[in-house]
Amino acid sequence: MDENELINNLSKALGIEYEKLSKHIGRSIRLMKYGELNYAVLRRDLLGYREGTTILLGDEPLIVHGYPSIQRLAFIEGVSKHMIDNVVVEEKMNGYNVRIVYYMGNIYAITRGGYICPYTTARIRKLYFKNIKLAHQEYPDIVLVGEVVGTENPYVVYDYPEARGFDYFIFDTMKKDKLQPLKIRDEIAEKYSLKAVRVLDIIDKKDIDGLKSIIDRLEKERREGVVLKDPYHRVPPLKYTTIYINIRDIWEGMRHPFDEGRGYLFSRIVRLIAQGYEYDWNNAELDRIALKLGRAILEPAINSLRKRANGEIIASKYTLVFPSEDDLSKYIEYAESIGMDFIFRVVEKREDGCIVVELFKMKETHNIYTKMLKTGYSPLD
C-alpha cells in the first residue's frame, strides 16, 4: 500500500477529510509498520482524538483510543472534592502503560504513546496469547489496559516480587474512548486468568484517614502509590504517589542529569512540597526527607561524572529476553525507526530459543559530561 492509500484509509477510519489529515502526516500523525501491518499514531491530541491513539490499518481499520492522562492529586484530602461517593483504591504499579488489542487473529501491545512495541508484543503473546484470544471472543469490542512491570523491559526496570522478569497487570478496560466499569476488568481477569492490579480497599470519599493509612503502608513497602477510581468511572480517576517513589525517581533520573534528571526534578519536588505541607513535617522529619532528597540529587550524578572521567560510557542498561530471533530483529528495526540511539549485545541464547540481550540507550549526559571534562566549562550559565 502506498502512502496515499494509507492516508485514504486513515481518512475513512477517522471520518476526517484527506486534506485535513495529510498536512499532519510525518508530524503529529506518524505512519508506522509492524511486520506487514501498517498503522498510524497520533502524537498529540488532534481532531477530536486523544494523544496516543493508534489506528490499525488492516483490511478493516481499527481505532485504538489513547488512554486518558490521569489527574494527579497534590493533597490526599483532595479526593473528597473530586469523587462522588465510593472510591476504589488501587495500587499504582511502577512500569509502563500498555493497551492490548486482538486484531486480525493476533495480539498487539501498544505503548502509552501509541506505538506497537515489538518486544512487549512478543512477550505478551508468549505469556497470554490464549487467555487474551478467549477474552476477545467474549468481549470483542474491549481493549485491555494494564501495566507491564518487572526487570526485563526497555522502559522501566523495577523489581516486583509478584511479577516474574516480565508480567502484565490489567487496571482498566476501554470500549472505544470510554473507560469501562471496573467490574468488567475484574470479570475478564477472573475468567481468563489474567493478572490485575491490587485493589487495596474501597472507601468512602470522606475517609481521608483510611486513605492515608493505606498510603503509609505503601510507603513502608516501597510501592509507587495509588490510583483512585469511581467504580463506574463516572468521574475521571486520580493518582497519588509515595514520598518513597518520588525520591527514588529523582535518584534514578539523576544518574543522567541532562536526560531524565532534568525532566524529573521539578515535578517530583513539587510533589514533595505538597506532601511536606499536608503531613505537616516537623523539623526532624524535614531533615530526614531533605537528606534523602539531597543525596538522590547529588550522589548518582556525581557518580556518573566520576565514571565518565574514568572513561566509561554513560548509558542506561536494559536486559531483554526475546522469544525468537524474529522478535529481536523486529525490535531492532523498530528502535531504529523511532530514532533511538542505542547499542546492544546478545549475552545468551537459551535452549528454549529465547535470546537474552543487553540494550544500552545512549544518553546526552555522556556528551555533555565529556565536554565539561575536556574544557572545564559549565554547560549552563
Angle at 216 between CA 214 and CA 221, to 5 degrees: 95
Long-range CB pairs of 34-41 (<8 Å, 24+ gap) are 34/108, 34/116, 34/118, 34/121, 34/330, 34/334, 35/330, 37/104, 37/108, 37/116, 38/1, 38/6, 39/116, 40/6, 40/10, 41/113, 41/114, 41/115
As a whole number of angstroms, the distance between CA 161 and CA 323 comes to 22
Min separation Cβ 17 and its own copies, Å? 33
β-strand partners of 57: none
271 interacts with its own copies by CB under 8 A: yes
By CB under 8 A, name the one of 19, 36, 351, 381 that touches its own copies. 381
378 interacts with its own copies by CB under 8 A: yes
54-56: strand order across its sheet? 29-34, 37-42, 54-56, 62-64
By CB under 8 A, name the one of 1, 84, 270, 346 that touches its own copies. 270
299 interacts with its own copies by CB under 8 A: yes
Q: For its own copies, which is the closer residue by CB, 137 or 375?
A: 375
Nearest CA to 109 out of 62, 148, 156 is that of 148
Q: For its own copies, which is the closer residue by CB, 2 or 266?
A: 266
As a whole number of angstroms, the distance between CA 50 and CA 110 comes to 14
Q: For its own copies, which is the closer residue by CB, 69 or 329?
A: 69
As a whole number of angstroms, the distance between CA 23 and CA 323 comes to 39
Min separation Cβ 379 and its own copies, Å? 7
75 interacts with its own copies by CB under 8 A: yes
By CB under 8 A, name the one of 3, 60, 204, 287 that touches its own copies. 287
Q: For its own copies, which is the closer residue by CB, 26 or 379?
A: 379
Q: Which stretch binds its own copies (CB under 8 A): 10-18, 29-37, 75-83, 176-184?
A: 75-83
Q: Which stretch binds its own copies (CB under 8 A): 65-73, 119-127, 131-139, 193-201?
A: 65-73
Binding site for its own copies (CB under 8 A): 69, 71-75, 77-79, 81-82, 257, 262, 265-267, 269-274, 276-277, 281, 286-287, 289-295, 297-299, 301-302, 305-306, 309, 372-373, 375-381
